[in-house]
Structure 1
Amino acid sequence: MYSGRTGESINMIYWIEGNYIKEALDEITYFMRDWRNNQVKPIDARTVDIMSAAHNMMDVNEPYMLISGYRSPETNAMLRRRSSGVAKNSLHLQGQAADLRMKSRSVAQMARAAQACNAGGVGRYTSSNFVHMDCGRVRSWGS
């Protein structure tokens, strides 16, 4: 992944032979922090699993561009004031969601790959060109 907000990138193996690598998950957590205020909350490995599985299904070399990972309550409230599409109890607040974009894949292609995981929520935000993936209950929205 890379972040257009911070200019940082991350590329690592976070899971080997059935075991998560704590140091890798810690690095992912920092990378996916709330870039507006640098607040950090552990990122749920299930969300990373969904992101990784969807990426593998798309058979691409391009990294995801992270739009939003963890969101602090202050950031989520500010975004809610600006947009009706931001949930009050967003899973971003729990470190369980990511908003992602790719140049080489459409929102529809990314969403189909994430939905094929049958493992969480998938939101299509075509007009903003990103897909929301989370480890909550299986559901989908947007067009």
Structure 2
Amino acid sequence: MVAAPTYANAFGLLRGAGDIRRIKMYNGRTGENIDMIYWIDGDYIKEALDEINFFMRDWRNNQIKQIDSRTVDIMTAAHNLMDVNEPYMLISGYRSPATNAMLRSRSGGVAKNSLHLQGQAADLRLASRSVDQMARAASACHAGGVGRYTSSNFVHMDCGNVRSWGS
């Protein structure tokens, strides 16, 4: 219940979009694309969410986890705010514990209890928008965590507590 007012902000940004929610992404690691309407007239489409779960799987070992629809909503709201047609490039969606541990051993910027492990986070890039532009759009949703990774050219978006980091 505590999160309800926060997520109302993100959902409010999606209203007026023809009562549909659509996500467009490309995965450079797998070569896969997704352009999916996943919500119509107040209802999530289970089959579409299943495809999003598969698309955002841990590509290193093909493990799939249910992606929190709130994260997808935040990504969609931020994308709409940027007024772009270009799909997001997915850098990282779900991460299995093994993948997260491996990445953590290589970088100090990977959280031990990352929300990627819960299917509640995504690292994204757009060629036509800067990290700062993407982060400002995600932050405008007031609905989760936003991390700027300027040197790696991506933005982290999650449905956890509202917070921000990076430069």
The residue that corresponds to 2:161 in the other structure is 137
The residue that corresponds to 1:6 in the other structure is 30
Give the counterpart of 1:38 among 47, 52, 62. Answer: 62
The C-alpha deviation readout for 1:84-111, integer Å capped at 9, x for no partner, is 0000000000000000001000000000
Q: Determine what percentage of the aligned residue pairs are the same residue.
A: 85
Indicate the SS of the match to 1:49: helix
Unmatched 5+ residue regions in structure 1? Answer: none
Q: CA deviation at 1:129?
A: 0.1
Equivalent runs, 1:63-102 vs 2, <5 Å: 63-102=87-126
Greater per-residue strand proportion: 2
Q: Which runs of 4+ in 1 moved over 2 A?
A: none
The C-alpha deviation readout for 1:56-107, integer Å capped at 9, x for no partner, is 0000010000000000000000000000000000000000000000100000
In the alignment, structure 1 residue 108 sits paired with structure 2 residue 132: yes
- In structure 1, give the amino acid aligned to 2:156: H
The residue that corresponds to 1:47 in the other structure is 71
The C-alpha deviation readout for 1:27-83, integer Å capped at 9, x for no partner, is 000000000000000000000000000000000010000000000000000000000
| TM-score, scaled to structure 2 | 0.85
Unmatched 5+ residue regions in structure 2? Answer: 1-24
- In structure 2, give the amino acid aligned to 1:46: R
Q: CA deviation at 1:121?
A: 0.1
Q: CA deviation at 1:16?
A: 0.5
| TM-score, scaled to structure 1 | 1.00
Q: CA deviation at 1:6?
A: 0.1
Partners of 2:66 and 2:139 in 1: CA distance: 24
The C-alpha deviation readout for 1:105-143, integer Å capped at 9, x for no partner, is 000000000000000000000000000000000000000
Instruction: Give the aligned CA root-mean-square deviation in angstroms.
Output: 0.2
The residue that corresponds to 1:127 in the other structure is 151
- Answer with 1 or 2: which has the greater Rg: 2
Partners of 1:57 and 1:22 in 2: CA distance: 25
Partners of 1:131 and 1:18 in 2: CA distance: 28
Partners of 2:53 and 2:130 in 1: CA distance: 26
- In structure 2, give the amino acid aligned to 1:94: Q
